[in-house]
Amino acid sequence: MGTKTIRDSYLPYGRQWIDEEDIQSVVNILKGDYLTTGPAVAEFEQAVASYVGAMYAVAFSNGTAALHGACFAAGIGEGDEVITTPMTFAASSNCVLYQGGKPVFADIDPKTYNIDPKNVEALINENTKAIIPVHFTGQPVDIDELHQLAKKHNLVVIEDAAHAMGATYKGDKIGSLSDMTMFSFHPVKHITSGEGGIITTNNEEYYQKLLQFRSHGITREPNKLVENHGPWYYEMQFLGFNYRITDIQAALGTSQLKKLDKFVDLRKKYVSLYNKAFKEIDGIQTPYQDQNGESSWHLYIIRLDLDKLSVSRKAVFEALVNENIGVNVHYIPVHLLPYYTKLGYQRGICPIAEKLYEEIITLPLFPAMIEEDIMDVIAAVNKVFNNYRK
Q: What is the DSSP string of 250-302?
A: HHHHHHHHTTHHHHHHHHHHHHHHHHHHHTT-TTEEPPP--TTEE---S-EEE
Indicate which residue of 102, 129, 173, 189 is catalytic.
Answer: 189
At 305, which amino acid appears? D
Bridge-based pairing of strands 284-285 and 81-84 is unpaired
Could you tell me if 298 and 138 are in contact, meaning their C-beta atoms sit under 8 angstroms apart? yes
Which backbone phi and psi does 314 adopt, to 5 degrees?
-60, -40
255 with 25: CB under 8 angstroms?
Answer: yes
* DSSP strand pairing (156-160 vs 128-132): parallel
Among 38, 36, 116, 34, CA closest to 83: 116
| Contact by Cβ (8 Å): 174, 161 | yes
Is 189 annotated in the active site? Answer: yes
Cα(116)–Cα(360) distance, integer angstroms: 19
Which residues participate in catalysis according to the annotation? 189
